[in-house]
Amino acid sequence: MAKHARYDESIKDEHYDAICIGSGIGSLTTAGLLARAGRKVLVLEQHYEPGGFCHSFKRKKFEWDVGVHYVGAMHSPHTIERKALDHLSDGELHWANMDSPYDRAIVDGVTYDFVSEMHDQIDLWVSYFPEEEEAIHRYWDLVRECSRSVFSYFGERAMPGIMSMAMGGMMRKKFTSFSDRTTYEVLRDLTDNETLITVLCAQCGDYGLSPRDSSFGIHALIVNHYRNGASYPVGGASQIHQSIIKGIESRGGKVVVLAPVQEIVLEGNKAVGVKMDNGDVLRTPIVISGIGVGNTFGKLLPADLKLPFDWRGDLSKVKSSMAHNCLYIGLDVTAQTLKLPKYNYWVYDEESKDKPNGERTASAYISFPSAKDPVWTEAHGDTATIQCISGVKYDEVAAWADTKIKKRGDAYETYKQEFKEKMLKQLYKLHPEIESHVVVAEVSTPLSTAHFSGYDQGQIYGLEHTPERFRIKWLRPKTPIKGLYLTGQDVACAGVAGALFAGLLTASALLKKNMIGELKKL
- 109, part of any domain: no
Q: CA-CA distance, 248 to 454, in Å (whole number)?
A: 23
Q: Are residues 499 and 427 in the same domain?
A: no
Strands (E), 15-115: 18-21, 41-44, 56-59, 62-65, 71-72, 95-97, 103-107, 110-114
Answer whether residue 183 is part of any domain: no
Domain that holds residue 42: 16-95+234-304+476-521
Residue 164's pLDDT is what?
A: 79
Identify the domain boundary among 432, 458, 484: 458
Read off the CATH number of the domain in which 26 is found: 3.50.50.60
Same domain flag for 409 and 497: no
pLDDT tens digits along 458-471: 999 999 999 999 99
Residues 351 and 424 in one domain: yes
Least confident of 60-74, 103-117, 342-356, 371-385: 342-356
How far is 344 from 352, CA to CA, in rounded Å?
A: 17
What is d(CA 497, CA 26) in angstroms, rounded to the nearest whole number?
A: 9
Mean pLDDT in residue range 104-114: 97
pLDDT-based confidence at residue 356 (cuts at 50, 70, 90): low
Residue 157 lies in a domain: no
Q: Are residues 443 and 336 in the same domain?
A: yes
Check whether 17 has a pLDDT greater than 80: yes
What are the DSSP E strand ranges found in 315-383?
Answer: 323-331, 344-348, 364-367
Position 360 scores a pLDDT of: 76
What is the average pLDDT across 64-87?
Answer: 96
Of 458, 487, 507, the last residue of a domain is 458
In a domain, 201, yes or no: no
Is 49 contained in some domain? yes
User: Are 23 and 43 spatial neighbours (Cβ–Cβ below 8 Å)?
Assistant: yes
Strands 384-392 and 323-331 turn out to be: antiparallel
Question: Of 37, 472, 486, whose CA–CA distance to 264 is shortest?
Answer: 486
> Are residues 242 and 92 in contact, defined by beta-carbon separation less than 8 angstroms?
no
Q: Which of 36, 37, 54 is nearest to 45 (CA)?
A: 54
Phi, psi of 282 (to 5 degrees): -105, 115
Give a yes or no: residue 33 inside a domain.
yes
Using CB atoms within 10 A of its CB, is residue 174 exposed (0-12), middle (13-18) or buried (19+)? middle
| Residues 453, 331 share a domain | yes
Q: Which residues contact 126 (CB under 8 A, 6 or more apart)?
A: 132, 133, 136
Q: Which residues contact 363 (CB under 8 A, 6 or more apart)?
A: 347, 348, 349, 351, 352, 390, 426
- DSSP count for the chain of H helices, then E strands: 19, 20
User: Which residues have a Cβ under 8 Å from the Cβ of 490 and sit 6 or more positions away?
Assistant: 292, 293, 462, 463, 475, 502
Q: What is the CA radius of gyration of the chain?
A: 22
What's the domain count of the chain?
A: 2
Same domain, 446 and 483: no
- pLDDT tier for residue 473 given thresholds of 50, 70 and 90: very high
Indicate whether 352 and 295 sit together in one domain.
no
Q: Cα separations (Å) of 217 from 6, 52, 140, 177, 517?
A: 40, 25, 13, 9, 23
